Amino acid sequence: VSGRTEDGILDMLSNSYDRPNADCNETKPSTETPKKKRKDRPDKFIVEVCMVTTIEFTCSFNTTSDLIEYLAIFLNAAALPFHDMTRPKIRLQLNEVVTNVTDQVINKTEDGVDIHKALYSMKALSEKGAFNRCDVAFLLSSEDMYRVINQTIPPIIEKRTMGVAYLAGVCKEYKVSVVEDKPHTYEGVLTCAHELAHLTLPRSCVEVSAAPLYTTAAYPGQNMTRREFCQLMHKGNFTAKPFQKHSKRHKNCQIKCCWKEDDLVWCQEHNMPEGLKCAPGKTCRRGVCARHSWE
């Protein structure tokens, strides 16, 4: 098992979905596509991904369509760290979204969610065949995650754990991972990419078994301003905005968000999401502010 802490680093949807009811139980909780064979392309590895979201995460979106679009854009950004790879080229494909297994994968306590227990629960679902249509399965949770570092009474925990995965688990029952993410912010993108690297990609599952559930060419920061990003990162603080409209930080793809609270000004620095404007005519891509092509 390997993890990452905070310091470590609608063309295919023909139906419109209403907002889930009060407890966010969907009538079609698992959205998938029929199996489809493709010709062998050994120079490219299409990693078929199942995304599992908790009720709290799911309820942050107005419709299932909005959730699926977010997850597809999320995977586009998570794939960027692998774009320099060749033989094979690595691409991520969203195959299935599961929203109705919260009770089976997480158990909230006053400290949050034990990330290792969540991982073991995902593995149990994998062993039952829940993710047979995918090479890997990620649980995205907006709940605070922690890991137990000492089994004392009470146990000693670490609360800054952002993700966890098994080593070399792709296409096996160990193909699962858990990632913490704030809905709409894409905060968990780098953690997702980090955990995917731990899972590794064997030659034995190169074949693509299904068509993608949803595809998009969009990236996280392309449809938001820097101010909107700050407000997403600090929801509830309507005064949140960049510390400076134009800052040297932006050219390093860093942004300092500040907000007022109890007559005090609070600030926090963040990495800019992929595609966010960092200077006139320039955007951030893998931490570099330049004139990038997003074709």
pLDDT per position as a tens digit, 250-267: 999 999 999 998 889 999
Phi-psi category of 199—alpha, beta or left, where left has phi over 0 and alpha has psi -120 to 50? alpha
- How many Cα atoms are found within 13 Å in the side-chain-facing hemisphere of 249? 16
Q: How far apart are CA 145 and CA 104, in angstroms?
A: 16
pLDDT exceeds 80 at position 207: no
Task: Specify the pLDDT at position 73.
Answer: 96
Domains, in order of start, for the chain: 44-199 (3.40.390.10), 226-290 (no CATH)
Q: How far apart are the first and last CA of the chain?
A: 36
> Over the stretch 172-199, which tens digit does the pLDDT of each residue have?
788 999 999 999 999 999 999 988 887 7
For 122, phi then psi, to 5°, come to: -65, -40
List helix spans (H) across the chain.
55-58, 64-79, 102-105, 115-127, 189-199, 226-233, 248-251
